């Protein structure tokens, strides 16, 4: 018998579960969205673009009609310590004639004109939907341009319809592997543990987050060889094979790259998370353990103690104000969702709903394991579902991305952007405090008093913040 409410589509039932209420502990995920749904998901191009865009000194050329370039113009909030070239928007702006006769010539001209203007070491050429249909030979055009200009011109196979955002992550990783490739002969895989140098995968330096983590690692004696891809430059990325370890923050986008780097260059990888105090400390410890270096272990313990002590009173202050509030989570990847649950626990906040756009089966298994009984877990949710479960569960706060913000606000629910639009670094110890401050700023805003007056909000009966 169906237990779903009328506004839950039948096909969607297998993508939603309530912990402790149902016997099943796994849910349908990683599947295509249903036609006619208000999905919060994006496309292959989107996935590829968000991964590659932080490469600061690259020309990011979007091959297609104008829209795809317009919507991704400088929206990521990835900071650069050098070039600002990546913040421009380059498009071949395909017109009807190009669709009929092919866009290859225009693409070649665009590459020529841009390379002449900007002298960049690499051009990424993104395929959009229509390019996949009209059959432009991106490989051939890029190869020719690369020879002509003596730089790398790398096609990114990101036509929107060939899969979902995850396929775009993989297309981006393939492009990165091609960028790295030419130098592979120079650094044969060997015993790299002697060099305490790592690649930091899956941090896009939003609000400067990668800089915080790089500094922690420096303090315990680990050098960050390159970040994939926050504040990265072509020349740094090409040195990736020289590292002795890859650590992965955003596994959704970078797990594939880590596997490839291990296979091709013998670099082992480990998952880390620098979201929240608990995960940050655990991650630093595992990195130190990997290098089997007593000095590093000691430095790590000292750093953990020092940084934890530095934020302790602030965290306790926020915890006092925020405990017993209820949070809902709807983010892109599974690993971020897992970290957020732990981070909310540190603040005494109960998570009542958790969902992702592209989480994988093992992510959902972990979410199920760590969630409290009664927590709603869902994949590829639509706004009606988010509304229903937030209202039913009495959430005070939603963590999500750009499309979820006004939805939460309309319901009188506070909101935190844990995506492109974040304004403060949320990583590491300092990030944990920023996160707590952001939660406090929104949950305890005086605006909800007025929102309550119009019927919204879930604050009745709660102690004042």
Partner 1 sequence: MLDCTPKEVIKRSGGLINPAKTCQPIGAMYAALGIHNCLPHSHGSQGCCAYHRSHLTRHFREPVMATTSSFTEGASVFGGGANLKTAIKNVFDIYNPDVMAVHTTCLSETIGDDISTIIKSAEVPEGKVVIHANTPSYQGSHITGFSNMVKGMVEYLARADTDGKKEQVNIIPGFVDPGDMREIKRLVGKMGIKFIMFPDTSGVMDSPMTGKFDMFPAGGAQVEDIRDAGNSSLTMALGYYASSTPANLLERNCRVPAITLKTPIGIKATDDFLMTLRSKFTLEIPYELEEERGQLVDVMTDTHHHFYDKKVAIFGDPDILTGLTEFVLSLGMQPVHVLTGTPSGTLGGPQGIFEKEINEMLAAARLEGRVKAAGDLFELHQWIKNEPVDLLMGNTYGKYIARAEDIPFVRVGFPILDRSTHPYLPIVGYRGALRLVEMISNALLDRQDRDAADEDLELVM
Binding mask 440-459 for partner 1 (x = CB under 8 A): -----------xx-xxxx--
Which tokens is 277 given?
A: 């105090």
Of the residues 161, 268, 369, 441, which one makes contact with partner 1 according to CB under 8 A: 161
Is residue 35 close enough to count as binding partner 1 by CB under 8 A?
A: yes
Interatomic CA distance for residues 262 and 453, integer angstroms = 57
Which tokens is 89 given?
A: 């928007």
Angstrom CA distances, 175 to 152, 155, 156, stand at 11, 7, 6
Is residue 129 close enough to count as binding partner 1 by CB under 8 A?
A: yes
Interatomic CA distance for residues 277 and 431, integer angstroms = 9
Min separation Cβ 33 and partner 1, Å: 5
Of the residues 16, 27, 55, 110, which one makes contact with partner 1 according to CB under 8 A: 110
Of the residues 230, 412, 428, 431, which one makes contact with partner 1 according to CB under 8 A: 412
Footprint on residues 301-340 left by partner 1 (CB under 8 A): none
How many CA within 13 A on the CB side of residue 212?
A: 21
Is residue 256 close enough to count as binding partner 1 by CB under 8 A?
A: no
Greatest C-alpha distance within the chain: 70
Footprint on residues 43-102 left by partner 1 (CB under 8 A): 43-46, 61, 64-73, 84-85, 87-96, 98-99
Q: Residue 329's CB: how many other CB atoms inside 10 A?
A: 28
Between 307 and 438, whose beta carbon lies closer to partner 1?
438
Footprint on residues 6-25 left by partner 1 (CB under 8 A): 7, 9
Between 36 and 188, whose beta carbon lies closer to partner 1?
36
Q: Residue 245's CB: how many other CB atoms inside 10 A?
A: 21
Interatomic CA distance for residues 440 and 433, integer angstroms = 10
Min separation Cβ 99 and partner 1, Å: 5
Between 314 and 445, whose beta carbon lies closer to partner 1?
445
Q: From the centroid of its chain, how far is CA 453?
A: 37
How many CA within 13 A on the CB side of residue 313?
A: 1
Is residue 409 close enough to count as binding partner 1 by CB under 8 A?
A: yes
Which tokens is 110 given?
A: 């665009």
Footprint on residues 376-405 left by partner 1 (CB under 8 A): 383-384, 387, 402-403, 405
Tokens 């998952």 belong to 271
Min separation Cβ 254 and partner 1, Å: 20
Of the residues 25, 81, 113, 316, which one makes contact with partner 1 according to CB under 8 A: 113
Of the residues 40, 199, 236, 442, which one makes contact with partner 1 according to CB under 8 A: 40
Between 20 and 67, whose beta carbon lies closer to partner 1?
67
Residues in the interface with partner 1 (CB under 8 A) total 82
Min separation Cβ 355 and partner 1, Å: 16
Footprint on residues 164-193 left by partner 1 (CB under 8 A): 164
Is residue 213 close enough to count as binding partner 1 by CB under 8 A?
A: no
How many CA within 13 A on the CB side of residue 342?
A: 19
- Closest CA relative to residue 397, chosen from 383, 411, 384, 380: 411
Min separation Cβ 57 and partner 1, Å: 11
Between 151 and 180, whose beta carbon lies closer to partner 1?
151
Interatomic CA distance for residues 326 and 294, integer angstroms = 41
Interatomic CA distance for residues 452 and 358, integer angstroms = 34
């Amino acid at each position: 018998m169906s237990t779903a409410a009328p506004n839950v589509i039948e096909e969607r039932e297998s993508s939603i579960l309530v912990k402790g209420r149902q016997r099943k502990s796994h849910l349908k995920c990683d599947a295509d969205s249903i036609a006619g749904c208000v999905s919060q998901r994006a496309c292959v191009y989107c996935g590829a673009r968000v991964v590659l865009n932080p490469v600061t000194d690259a020309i990011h050329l979007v091959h297609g009609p104008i829209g795809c370039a317009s919507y991704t113009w400088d929206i990521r909030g990835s900071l650069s310590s050098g070039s600002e070239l990546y913040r421009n928007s380059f498009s071949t702006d395909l017109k009807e004639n190009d669709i009929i006769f092919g866009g290859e010539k225009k693409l070649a001209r665009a590459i020529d004109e841009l390379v002449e203007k900007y002298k960049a070491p690499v051009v990424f050429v993104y395929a959009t939907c229509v390019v996949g249909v009209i059959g432009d030979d991106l490989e051939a055009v890029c190869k020719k341009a690369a020879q002509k200009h003596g730089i790398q011109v790398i096609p990114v196979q990101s036509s929107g319809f060939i899969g979902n955002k995850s396929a775009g992550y993989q297309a981006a990783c393939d492009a990165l592997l091609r960028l790295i490739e030419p130098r592979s002969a120079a650094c044969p895989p060997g015993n790299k543990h002697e060099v305490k140098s790592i690649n930091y995968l899956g941090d896009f330096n939003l609000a400067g987050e990668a800089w915080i983590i790089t500094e922690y690692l420096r303090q315990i004696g680990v050098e960050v060889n390159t970040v994939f891809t926050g504040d990265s430059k072509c020349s740094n990325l090409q040195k990736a094979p020289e590292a002795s370890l890859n650590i992965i923050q955003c596994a959704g986008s970078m797990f594939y790259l880590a596997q490839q780097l291990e296979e091709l260059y013998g670099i082992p990888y480990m998952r880390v998370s620098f979201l929240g105090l608990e995960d940050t400390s655990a991650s630093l410890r595992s990195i130190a353990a990997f290098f089997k270096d007593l000095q590093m272990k000691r430095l790590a313990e000292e750093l953990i103690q020092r940084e934890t002590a530095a934020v302790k009173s602030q965290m306790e202050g926020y915890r006092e104000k925020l405990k017993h509030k209820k949070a809902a989570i709807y983010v892109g990847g599974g690993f971020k969702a897992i970290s957020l649950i732990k981070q909310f626990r540190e603040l005494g906040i109960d998570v009542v709903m958790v969902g992702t756009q592209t989480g994988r089966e093992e992510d959902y298994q972990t979410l199920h394991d760590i969630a409290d009984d009664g927590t709603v877990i869902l994949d590829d949710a639509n706004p009606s579902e988010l509304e229903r479960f937030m209202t039913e569960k009495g959430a005070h706060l939603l963590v999500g991305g750009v499309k979820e913000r006004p939805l939460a606000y309309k319901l009188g629910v506070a909101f935190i952007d844990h995506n492109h639009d974040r304004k403060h670094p949320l990583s590491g110890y300092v990030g944990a405090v920023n996160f707590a401050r952001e939660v406090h700023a929104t949950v305890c805003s005086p605006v909800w008093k007025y929102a309550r007056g119009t019927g919204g909000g879930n604050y009745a009966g709660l102690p004042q913040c």
